[in-house]
Amino acid sequence: MDRKEILEGLKEILLLIKPSLDLSAVTEGSQLISDIGLDSLTIMLLSLAIENKFKIKFEGTLKFNTVGEVIDYIQSKA
């Protein structure tokens, strides 16, 4: 799965979590907290949805700052 496909999948998930989000503004450089506006609850929901959609399991405590870091992680587990 390439980066573009993963980004599109993440956008689908983000839209479910934050329906008011402007997806055209979401890029690999987008900050999860300051740009997208996620909080601890929505980050947990994002994690669960990523595990389900991409069939991966998060291991240990992970801290992602940007969408690109999430994509890197998904690619490393796929």
Question: Which domains does the chain show, CATH number per domain?
Answer: 3-19+27-77 (1.10.1200.10)
Report pLDDT for 39.
93
Q: What is the mean predicted confidence (pLDDT) over 9-24?
A: 95
Residue 60 DSSP one-character state: S
Residue 19 DSSP one-character state: T
Alpha helices in the chain (DSSP H): 3-17, 40-54, 67-77
**CA 54, CA 57: separation in Å to the nearest integer?**
9
What are the tens digits of pLDDT across the range 52-72?
999 999 887 778 999 999 999
